[in-house]
Protein backbone atom coordinates (compact mmCIF):
# COMPACT_ATOMS: atom_id res chain seq x y z
CA UNK A 1 0.00 0.00 0.00
CA UNK A 2 1.42 3.35 -1.00
CA UNK A 3 0.60 6.35 1.14
CA UNK A 4 1.55 9.90 0.19
CA UNK A 5 3.35 11.84 2.89
CA UNK A 6 3.75 15.55 3.37
CA UNK A 7 7.01 17.19 4.46
CA UNK A 8 6.14 17.17 8.19
CA UNK A 9 5.66 13.40 8.13
CA UNK A 10 8.99 12.68 6.44
CA UNK A 11 11.05 14.34 9.20
CA UNK A 12 10.74 11.23 11.40
CA UNK A 13 10.87 8.86 8.45
CA UNK A 14 13.37 6.44 9.98
CA UNK A 15 11.36 6.08 13.19
CA UNK A 16 8.19 5.45 11.16
CA UNK A 17 9.77 2.65 9.15
CA UNK A 18 10.21 0.53 12.27
CA UNK A 19 6.65 1.09 13.50
CA UNK A 20 4.70 0.62 10.25
CA UNK A 21 2.46 -2.18 11.49
CA UNK A 22 0.18 -4.20 9.25
CA UNK A 23 0.21 -3.50 5.52
CA UNK A 24 -2.03 -4.66 2.69
CA UNK A 25 -0.41 -5.64 -0.61
CA UNK A 26 -2.10 -4.80 -3.91
CA UNK A 27 -3.42 -8.31 -4.51
CA UNK A 28 -5.00 -8.51 -1.04
CA UNK A 29 -6.47 -5.05 -1.54
CA UNK A 30 -8.29 -6.30 -4.63
CA UNK A 31 -9.42 -9.51 -2.91
CA UNK A 32 -10.93 -7.57 0.02
CA UNK A 33 -12.84 -5.38 -2.43
CA UNK A 34 -14.01 -8.36 -4.46
CA UNK A 35 -14.75 -10.94 -1.76
CA UNK A 36 -15.76 -8.79 1.21
CA UNK A 37 -17.16 -5.73 -0.56
CA UNK A 38 -15.14 -3.18 1.44
CA UNK A 39 -14.58 -0.17 -0.83
CA UNK A 40 -12.78 2.30 1.42
CA UNK A 41 -8.99 1.98 1.55
CA UNK A 42 -8.98 3.07 5.20
CA UNK A 43 -11.54 0.39 6.12
CA UNK A 44 -9.59 -2.31 4.25
CA UNK A 45 -6.45 -1.46 6.23
CA UNK A 46 -8.42 -1.33 9.49
CA UNK A 47 -9.92 -4.76 8.73
CA UNK A 48 -6.46 -6.19 8.05
CA UNK A 49 -5.17 -4.77 11.37
CA UNK A 50 -8.11 -6.22 13.28
CA UNK A 51 -7.63 -9.61 11.64
CA UNK A 52 -3.93 -9.60 12.51
CA UNK A 53 -4.46 -8.51 16.12
CA UNK A 54 -7.67 -10.32 17.07
CA UNK A 55 -7.91 -13.23 14.65
CA UNK A 56 -7.42 -16.89 15.56
CA UNK A 57 -4.16 -18.47 14.44
CA UNK A 58 -3.88 -22.14 13.54
CA UNK A 59 -2.53 -22.89 17.03
CA UNK A 60 -5.69 -21.33 18.57
CA UNK A 61 -8.16 -23.29 16.45
CA UNK A 62 -9.64 -26.73 16.85
CA UNK A 63 -12.37 -28.80 15.22
CA UNK A 64 -13.66 -27.75 11.80
CA UNK A 65 -11.69 -24.49 11.75
CA UNK A 66 -8.39 -26.30 12.26
CA UNK A 67 -9.35 -28.97 9.74
CA UNK A 68 -10.16 -26.34 7.10
CA UNK A 69 -6.98 -24.31 7.72
CA UNK A 70 -4.81 -27.43 7.42
CA UNK A 71 -6.59 -28.46 4.22
CA UNK A 72 -6.13 -24.95 2.79
CA UNK A 73 -2.41 -25.02 3.66
CA UNK A 74 -1.96 -28.37 1.85
CA UNK A 75 -3.97 -27.54 -1.29
CA UNK A 76 -3.08 -23.89 -1.93
CA UNK A 77 0.62 -23.23 -2.66
CA UNK A 78 0.38 -19.53 -1.65
CA UNK A 79 -0.40 -20.58 1.95
CA UNK A 80 2.79 -22.57 2.51
CA UNK A 81 5.14 -20.88 4.95
CA UNK A 82 2.64 -18.13 5.70
CA UNK A 83 0.40 -17.45 8.67
CA UNK A 84 -3.29 -18.26 8.26
CA UNK A 85 -5.57 -16.17 10.46
CA UNK A 86 -9.27 -16.81 10.91
CA UNK A 87 -11.27 -13.63 11.52
CA UNK A 88 -15.03 -13.12 11.10
CA UNK A 89 -15.33 -16.41 9.24
CA UNK A 90 -12.74 -15.41 6.61
CA UNK A 91 -9.18 -16.64 6.17
CA UNK A 92 -6.54 -13.93 6.01
CA UNK A 93 -3.11 -15.01 4.75
CA UNK A 94 -0.22 -12.99 6.23
CA UNK A 95 3.46 -13.03 5.38
CA UNK A 96 4.97 -11.37 8.43
CA UNK A 97 2.81 -8.27 8.89
CA UNK A 98 1.80 -8.03 5.23
CA UNK A 99 -1.64 -9.25 4.20
CA UNK A 100 -1.17 -11.36 1.08
CA UNK A 101 -4.71 -12.51 0.28
CA UNK A 102 -8.14 -13.30 1.72
CA UNK A 103 -10.17 -16.49 1.23
CA UNK A 104 -13.82 -17.23 1.90
CA UNK A 105 -14.48 -20.77 3.13
CA UNK A 106 -17.31 -22.74 1.49
CA UNK A 107 -20.71 -22.03 3.10
CA UNK A 108 -20.86 -25.40 4.89
CA UNK A 109 -17.52 -24.85 6.60
CA UNK A 110 -18.27 -21.17 7.20
CA UNK A 111 -21.38 -22.02 9.21
CA UNK A 112 -19.54 -24.59 11.33
CA UNK A 113 -16.57 -22.27 11.85
CA UNK A 114 -18.86 -19.41 12.98
CA UNK A 115 -20.48 -21.70 15.57
CA UNK A 116 -17.09 -22.87 16.88
CA UNK A 117 -15.57 -19.41 17.12
CA UNK A 118 -18.69 -18.06 18.87
CA UNK A 119 -18.38 -20.85 21.46
CA UNK A 120 -14.66 -20.11 21.88
CA UNK A 121 -15.33 -16.36 22.40
CA UNK A 122 -18.05 -17.14 24.95
CA UNK A 123 -15.68 -19.41 26.90
CA UNK A 124 -12.98 -16.73 26.80
CA UNK A 125 -15.40 -14.13 28.21
CA UNK A 126 -16.42 -16.47 31.02
CA UNK A 127 -12.75 -17.20 31.80
CA UNK A 128 -11.90 -13.48 31.83
CA UNK A 129 -14.84 -12.78 34.13
CA UNK A 130 -13.78 -15.58 36.46
CA UNK A 131 -10.23 -14.21 36.64
CA UNK A 132 -11.46 -10.71 37.53
CA UNK A 133 -14.06 -11.80 40.09
CA UNK A 134 -12.62 -12.46 43.58
CA UNK A 135 -15.42 -14.96 44.27
CA UNK A 136 -13.95 -17.26 41.60
CA UNK A 137 -10.37 -16.89 42.87
CA UNK A 138 -8.87 -20.00 44.42
What number is the average pLDDT over the span 89-101? 90
What number is the average pLDDT over the span 62-78? 86
Q: Which residues contact 130 (CB under 8 A, 6 or more apart)?
A: 136
- 17, pLDDT greater than 70: no
Identify the domain containing residue 90 by its residue range: 22-132
Q: What is the pLDDT of residue 7?
A: 43
Would you say residue 10 lies in a domain?
no
Residue 138 or 37, more confident = 37
What angle, rounded to 10 degrees, do the helices at 63-75 and 107-132 form?
Answer: 130
Would you say residue 9 lies in a domain?
no
Looking at the structure of the chain, the number of domains it has is: 1
| The pTM of the whole model exceeds 0.75 | no
Give the pLDDT band of residue 137 (cuts 50, 70, 90): very low
Amino acid sequence: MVRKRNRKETENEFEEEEDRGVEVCGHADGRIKERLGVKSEHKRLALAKLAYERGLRERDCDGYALEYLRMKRKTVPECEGRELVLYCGKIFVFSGEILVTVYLPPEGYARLIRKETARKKCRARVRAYALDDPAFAA
